[in-house]
Amino acid sequence: MSTSPDETAKPSSYAADPVEPSTTSSSGPLVASHSYPPTEVQRWLICPVFRDYSARWEPRLEEWTPNKLVGTAIHAGAASYLRSLMDGSVSPGTDPIPNAIADGLAALRNGYVQQEQYGLDGLEKLVTKGTQALIKSVTEKLLPGAMVVGVEVVVKRNTTVPKGVPGQDHIADCILQRGETLEIWDWKV
């Protein structure tokens, strides 16, 4: 195919240029056609059904999962244990772990949503094991030489942040005093 000097070659593309509808031509009136954006043309070239589904797609409703709840329950158990150490309600020879596990299981049962996929019995076992493991780790690794001075303390966000900048308060899971210093601990379950 040859081009005249007046015409310049145009690069080809995957997308169609928008077509302006015209109602007249040299051969008579034209029917107005729809203009498709390049992304829809690309989707249609991949698969016409894909283009149709992508135009009608709606996000699936969120399904309940116990992930966050199990972590919250383990936090509740550990907080119960640390509070009993902090306020001295644990007498020597008393094991505070059963009470801590009971508090964690209560938090689990409070937020549990009945459904078929996640059974309460299995989640209770996870919370019990997780609470025991966290308490054991804290007792053996963090508490020697330290004193618990705060449990689940709300730490206000920096007040020097300009207005309009989003921010939120944070919760310190445990604050320990070791000598002259304070340690802030945040568990991630």
- Looking at the chain, which runs of residues are DSSP E strands? 147-155, 170-178, 181-185
Whether residue 75 contacts residue 151, with contact meaning beta carbons closer than 8 Å, is answered with no
| Same-domain check for residues 92 and 38 | no
Same domain, 33 and 71: no
Q: What are phi and psi of 150, to 5 degrees?
A: -160, 145
83 in a domain, yes or no? yes
Residues 20, 100: one domain?
A: no
The answer to whether residue 8 is domain-embedded is no
Q: Residue 21 belongs to what domain range? A: 13-58
Q: Which of 130, 128, 170 is nearest to 150 (CA)?
A: 170
Q: Indicate whether 71 and 94 sit together in one domain.
A: yes
149 lies in some domain: yes
Instruction: Select from 135, 105, 132 the least CA-distant residue to 120.
Output: 105
Q: What is the pLDDT of residue 53?
A: 85
pLDDT of residue 165: 61
CA distance 20 to 23: 10
Domain membership of residue 76 (yes or no) is yes
- My answer on whether 143 and 98 are in the same domain is yes
Query: What are the mean pLDDT values of the chain's consecutive 10-residue runs (189 residues total)?
Result: 51 49 55 76 87 81 85 94 85 75 95 90 94 91 90 77 65 90 88
Which are the contacts of 177, defined by CB distance < 8 A and separation ≥ 6?
A: 146, 147, 149, 183
SS3 6: coil
Does residue 148 sit within a domain?
yes
Residues 47 and 71 occupy one common structural domain:
no
User: Among residues 58, 76, 94, which one ends one of the domains?
Assistant: 58
pTM of the model: 0.61
Q: 106 vs 18, 73, 78, 186, CA distance in Å?
A: 62, 8, 13, 21
Any domain includes 3:
no
Within a domain: 6:
no
How is residue 98 annotated by DSSP? H
Place of tokens 């308490």: 135
Residues 120 and 33 in one domain: no
